[in-house]
A and B are shown apart, each in its own frame.
Chain A
């Protein structure tokens, strides 16, 4: 817009010269000087602002992840600020906010997550075009706080057996922390992977091993129970299952290669599991950054 405006001023100047019109000169000079003054206005409209990322949200891949910024103004107004993220990979929606002198106001920047793990905003660009929209002043912010993106929940197409390793020995594997096992006949509604297939081969009767412990009826969600499936997809399945368990209020544990989450229930547990799923396999550098 600024270039267009400059072009307009030049055309006006030519008109003024050609028709020896002093008033067009006057108008051109006035607008030109206002243009220069607007540079300072626009700049000072941004200066003195302190922008902090105060909260990074969490969400699933494909979701919009909110980042909450807080802008605190110095001595003058910081009007019509917009916050955006650079780069096409992190499509961002823009917000417009005014910060009055000596006060602060919060701005929500929403970013669409494309992959699980830590979501670090690349470069956040805060800019303003106030007052006339002809010029832009901007500044960069590289927030170090990351959002966490969980895998996109996908229900597994068919329930997959997850007790394989336990059944091979013919003995029902005892999960740690469980006291004893009770064998009961299969009934409608039991997951197929809980059927003791070895026992079925021997006796021809479908039976279910039910563990009784302090946590009642724990259920292990295991990374290994989707053989041949891509890691990301497994994580998606597990995420869906975690959410399902969370909904039904069942206690469950999560078993990932090299990382177990003890069976438990409640929102805090669910979130912990989701985080583990989100961060599975991500290198430590990201978490380092988070610490910084």
Chain B
């Protein structure tokens, strides 16, 4: 364990603030006041309402709660319709004014509406809650019973985590994006390799990634095994929040950043120069390898979706490969934009037209096929390449289906080739990808 120092990590600073303490040290057990709670239709009201009833408790502070219906949307049978109805009624009864009902996937919706900001202590009823770390929030996922306890009390216990710093160094070449970086990290440290420490991304390589790309890095802190996935806030963060209607004193950025000499448990370095596009073979994100080392297996389905891989930047990446091309015969490309806003903006800038002209089939916004809940699940023996975060056995459909994970560029290239394909030749044919930097971000 790191020795006590006056220099503190970002995680320590946020946890100390939430715990009402001057400082905290890794390993200490503390009780934190929660700034923001997010719950969704799957692990949310249908599971927590009976518990709150049993406790005779109501939501401690509805103004700190955001409810999102994104898992069972739109309803496909009476059971999913019942869950969505119950979710709406619970929100009304408890006075939760902010219910994003079929407007997109929770982690993306939180970011779009400026709910997640530097220094906040966030608890979400979903394992990809660390996505909010891209905005400098300490954000952790919990299950429904713990969520009910948080809703009843506004508090959660926590063992102050050590920090695992991930240094991203240099600039990735063409065709290499945040998803490739995080898949390479999964391979490097292993699935769950972070051991529930607080992941903190740092290094000069970070500056080249806009907010949506940073969300991909923080999102897959879940697969890396981090309790959260922090990224130091900077001018990109400020610009994004401003667009979301949140004005932030720039001094707030400095306040929550790790001190330069703050002791961290471990540092992992990843050189981005020379990194190839990555593909993770079934059934683990840690099975990642450079695309040219992966057998070019024929694919039945290409899927652009989920909180990890269907933001506007992800759709634009796919469009940059698909422009003027067609999805291969015998292969289907399904695209489920992450939110209603992504739909609107992708429609406005021509991205949707590019995708559909190439043969993409558009699906509703929501968690969809990623976790086997929605449209686009796989038959026995089918092969899929997806921009999602997880390729566990049977997750996306039949137990014998096989899912490869990759960036939206690689998924799109594979859809065109009908087999797993390197996106770089597609970009070299005079149809360059959008630069994957802050410039293509929503804030641009």
| Chains A and B come from one and the same complex | no
